[in-house]
Amino acid sequence: MIHITNLKNSLPLFKALSSEIRVQILELLSVHKQLNMNELAEKLGLSNGAVTMHVKKLEECGLIRIATLTAKRGTQKICNLHEDKFVIDIGQQEVPHSYETELGIGHYTAYEIFPTCGIATKDKLIGEVDNPRYFADPERINSDILWFSRGFVEYRIPNYLKPGQDFSEIQISLEIGSEAPGNCSIWPSDIHFSLNNLHIASWTSPGDYADSKGILTPSWWFPCWNQYGLLKLLTINRFGTFIDGVAASEVTLKDIGLDYKSDLSIRLSIPDDTEHIGGLTIYGKNFGNYSQGIKVRVIYEQN
């Protein structure tokens, strides 16, 4: 996967994709997996020289890979896809007096979960589904998706502030959704957020989506299972707590009482007493539609 965060540096990629012929080459390789130059020329109705020019541009920007094989009648160049996905992130910018960190989905420090549940890396399931014991498996540190019907997972956020610095805002971004047995697009779930054991907000996820394959969801994943979630941004500052910029509660940073010595922990839960007990799925870098884990940005003031 190609992850684009700088548009200017990615101009060669955009130029390569601006040609209808080159897009057709990528489509052919996605279907046939690999083709030699003669086969590409025949399918496109072009000369070998023209195909070579287009293939070279795709190779230069990292979209395809070319291997030279020796055959009975000489050598031939075999083309296949090198990257079949790319994600564009725009609007990323540095904020003065801030730091950012990213937590893996499996980096939780505490949990209590109930079936249906499960956890998986980008390559395989960890243990058995619907067996909470596997959430303690050491391999969970590499997981990229987890799900449960009720309970909680908690993550510890590093506090890098120094004496004379005060918290101004905490932003937490993650891809989440409900957890239905299998999947269900209409499956509301009240997901609660707590910071240092203080409830700060809740958000009702509309469903557990599998109407289309997640952009990053691996090919081995079961098509009838959850494929992707929704990207949510949780923000807490001196004015209150917000979800995607909309006020979610009046809880402020002052209510939590943080300083440079404070521990920081974020808990995501489905309580037993909430109205919609529809579970929780958290997607990591190799599942869903967004190439990220749990991103955290801390903004602070310098006294």
* 51: CATH: 1.10.10.10
Average pLDDT, the chain: 92
Total structural domains in the chain?
Answer: 2
Looking at the chain, the whole-number percentage of residues with pLDDT higher than 70 is 93
Last residue of a domain, one of 55, 86, 117: 86
Q: What is the pLDDT of residue 129?
A: 96
Question: What whole-number distance in Å separates Cα of residue 107 and Cα of residue 148?
Answer: 16
- Rounded to two decimals, what is the model's pTM? 0.75
Last residue of a domain, one of 60, 86, 112: 86
Q: What is the pLDDT of residue 33?
A: 86
For residue 266, the one-letter residue type is I
- 102 and 184 belong to one structural domain: yes
- 284 and 168 belong to one structural domain: yes
- 117 and 249 belong to one structural domain: yes
- 35 and 148 belong to one structural domain: no
- 126 and 99 belong to one structural domain: yes
- 184 and 232 belong to one structural domain: yes
pLDDT digits (tens, 9 = 90+) for 173-232: 999 999 999 999 999 999 999 999 999 999 999 999 999 999 999 999 999 999 999 999
Mean pLDDT of 67-93: 74
Domain span holding position 76: 2-86
Mean pLDDT of 63-81: 83
Last residue of a domain, one of 43, 68, 86: 86
Check pLDDT > 60 for residue 4.
yes
- 190 and 129 belong to one structural domain: yes
- 21 and 151 belong to one structural domain: no
Q: How confident is the model at residue 82 (pLDDT cuts 50, 70, 90)?
A: confident
- 81 and 99 belong to one structural domain: no
- 109 and 237 belong to one structural domain: yes
Check pLDDT > 60 for residue 143.
yes
Q: What is the pLDDT of residue 9?
A: 74
- 74 and 99 belong to one structural domain: no
Mean pLDDT of 138-157: 98
Mean pLDDT of 245-272: 96
